[in-house]
Amino acid sequence: MRYDLNLLPVFMALMEERSVTRAAVRLGITQPALSNALNRLRDTLRDPLFIRERYGIKPTQFAEEIAPVILETLARLDEVIIGRQHFDPATSTRQFNIAPNSFVEIVLMPSIIARLRQQAPGVKVSLTPYGNDLTETGVISGTTDMALGRIIDPPDNLIVQHLMDDGLACVVRADHPDIADSLSREQYEQLRHVNVLPPGRMRVGLFQALERQGLRRDLAISVTHFLAVPEIIAMTDYCATLPRLICRQIAKDPRLKIVPSPVDLGSFPVEIAWHVRYRQDPAHQWLRQLLVETASELTGETLEPSE
């Protein structure tokens, strides 16, 4: 039997989006064109595949059964075809879609963009929000090239590589009336704190570290981005516990000072996750290696090349 391979991405888009409208937007086609493709799929596979529900569509049992096979087939095709393509960073005009968490966006992306400007001036980068989970980043479907951050419970179609580690320190205003160059446990617990809530399960890291040490915080305010912290700290007697690399940047502000945390709060990992279809993509391999080199330069760590 002959199969139209163009229909396979349509099937996967419907499986992952569970919405004809969202699947059409993702594929860059009209809804009538997608509906037509779905009808051809139904004729070929002799199954309804998707059933309309109140808030979208639901795959049939047969669709659920064949989805892993189709996903693996597409990944293998991508791996073979993309792997044969040549990539020259000096002349490439490729666009990469990257989903960094807020830490990576501040700490790592400026250095990455500077390196791209020198080594690959025609390459473009588009940043997409990290979101609340990996599905929202687009990395599971492969529409986003990679996600950068804390990767928790990745599915089988993602490859995850450790990129770097960072620790934690505290920031207060430079002329704080009670804090000199160090911070005791008692002072830490008596201060009011600014808390940063990154998206999703990322937020558990600091809370778990404090719990392990039996260290309490009196939270005055929670914000959604690291960039909100410096102004709040500069205008109050509050304290914030932040990644050291973030502290290194805001330490340039003369209104602020960085002090060690009163106890060792450990470190947290930053990882890269990408879809298996990009494993042999020369351009993707090059960008991953660039990330490894940049992270190594920032942290002073020597890391293994990306897979």
CA distances from 212 to 23, 166, 222, 223, 239 (A): 44, 18, 21, 23, 20
Residue 42 has pLDDT above 50, yes or no: yes
**CATH ID of 7-83, from 3.50.50.60, 3.40.50.11540, 3.40.50.300, 1.10.10.10:** 1.10.10.10
Residue 227 has pLDDT above 50, yes or no: yes
What average pLDDT does the segment 147-168 reach? 91
Whole-angstrom distance, CA of residue 197 vs CA of residue 203? 6
Domain 168-259: CATH superfamily is Periplasmic binding protein-like II (3.40.190.10)
Domain boundaries, the chain: 7-83, 95-162+270-299, 168-259
User: Do 258 and 171 contact (CB within 8 A), yes or no?
Assistant: yes
Q: Where is mean pLDDT largest: 26-35, 55-64, 116-125?
A: 116-125
Q: Give the pLDDT confidence score for residue 303 in this predicted structure.
A: 44
What average pLDDT does the segment 97-104 reach? 93
Residue 84 has pLDDT above 80, yes or no: no
**Structure confidence at residue 79 as a pLDDT band (50, 70, 90):** low
What average pLDDT does the segment 99-124 reach? 94
| Token pair listed for 307 | 């897979």
- Cα 71-76-78 angle, rounded to 5 deg: 95
Which residues touch 152 (CB under 8 Å, ≥6 apart)? 201
Residue 139 has pLDDT above 80, yes or no: yes
Domains 95-162+270-299 and 168-259 share a fold: yes
Q: How are beta strands 239-243 and 168-173 bridged, if at all? A: antiparallel
Q: Give the pLDDT confidence score for residue 193 in this predicted structure.
A: 96
Q: Which CATH number applies to 95-162+270-299?
A: 3.40.190.10
CA–chain centroid gap for 221, Å, is: 25
Q: Give the pLDDT confidence score for residue 204 in this predicted structure.
A: 59
Name the pTM for this structure: 0.71
| Token pair listed for 12 | 């996967």
